[in-house]
Amino acid sequence: MFQDMLFHIFGTMMLDTLFTEMTGKPTSFCEVIGKADIWLIRTYWDFEYPRPFLPNFKFVGGLHCKPAKPLPEDMEEFVQTSGEDGVVVFSLGSMVKNLTKERRNTIASALGQVPQKVLWRYSGEKPDTLAPNTRVYDWIPQNDLLGHPKTKVFITHGGTNGIYEGIYHGVPMVGIPLFGDQSGNMLHMKTKGAAVILDFNHFQAQDLVDAVNTVVKDPSYKESAMRLSRIHHDQPMKPLDRAVFWIEFVMRNKGAKHLRVQSHNLSWYQYHCLDVLAALLATVVLVTLIIFKSCCFCVRKCCLRSKAKSKKE
């Protein structure tokens, strides 16, 4: 509810003004997106919970995923030195440029205690506790690393793109969500048995060590990740091909109005059926009033007859 309120304020204060300037007439953001013929949703049923959707919602989750390519020579050499323990891929996304000294030292200390080699995407100030088994990179070929046979765990902030690369390659995860949809994304993966979640602001070094060890040593996490991967790959057409088809479908047919729900054309009181509710309440009140008046009329008639009869007697 709080997120909806924030989005409404943001839309009203900024986006509505922007769209009004673009169109040259009063226009709201909701009005514009309400005219969409097709919605391309970047998830799929390997990630989503089963629930009904409109016919113009097309799921294209993982459309950016692809088979892993060979790693750069120096990175491949580092990965191969991991032996049977394998490697951990760690990234908090492109928006996290730096961390506080306490957080980065806690993370580096924890990564130094796991038996795997660690590739950490981080462009901020280097931690004081960085261990020999950990290499820090400004950028990593994340998809290629997740597709490498030596990758055991993916430590992620829970962005949709990263999650789908993990699903595509069947890699279990340790989630450290930061903001937005990331907590919900990681909760999906946790309920499907493919992830452990940590609280970014409160976890200690041992918590991260335990989370990595749990995901590596408990085979159920890898099995769940591979199950989701099989579901993802078992589709009649690739997500990218599906996205292209529906975009071209809209172009060929000059829109897809036959798939667009008519609720976008209803006013707010019609959408919430307040007019129907008002009509029903009015009907109930009217019927109740008629019954009440009829009863009063009958009672009065009966009373008048009783009085007339007693006077005659």
pLDDT tens digits, 94-124: 888 888 999 999 999 999 999 999 999 998 8
Is the same domain home to 95 and 45? no
162 and 253 belong to one structural domain: no
The residue out of 233, 255, 283 marking a domain boundary is 233
pLDDT tier at 300, thresholds 50, 70, 90 = confident
111 with 207, same domain: the answer is yes
Mean pLDDT, range 196-202, rounded to an integer: 94
Least confident interval from 8-17, 52-61, 197-206, 275-284: 8-17
Please give the residue that has the higher pLDDT: either 25 or 234. 234
Domain hosting 249: range is 2-63+238-263
Residue 15 clears pLDDT 60, i.e. is over it: yes
If one counts the domains in the chain, the total is: 3
What is residue 308's predicted lDDT score, i.e. its pLDDT?
A: 61
**Residue 219: inside a domain:** yes
- Asked whether 99 and 76 are in contact (CB, 8 A), the reply is no
181 and 245 inside one domain: no
Under DSSP, the state recorded for 166 is H
Same domain for 26 and 152, yes or no, is: no
* Contact present, 104 and 125 (Cβ < 8 Å): yes
Contact yes or no for 171/153 (Cβ under 8 A): yes
Strands (E), 206-275: none
| pLDDT grade for 27, boundaries at 50, 70 and 90 | confident
Task: State whether 124 and 53 are in the same domain.
Answer: no
Residue 68 lies in a domain: no
pLDDT tier at 313, thresholds 50, 70, 90: low
Rounded CA-CA distance 239/243 in Å is: 6
Per-residue confidence at 282, pLDDT binned at 50, 70, 90?
very high
pLDDT at 72: 94
CB atoms within 10 A of CB 34: 13
Pairing of strands 57-59, 87-91: unpaired
- This model's pTM is above 0.75: yes
**Confidence category of residue 311, pLDDT binned at 50, 70, 90:** low
Residues 11 and 122 occupy one common structural domain: no
Domain assignment of residue 104, yes or no: yes
7 part of a folded domain: yes
SS3 category, 40: strand
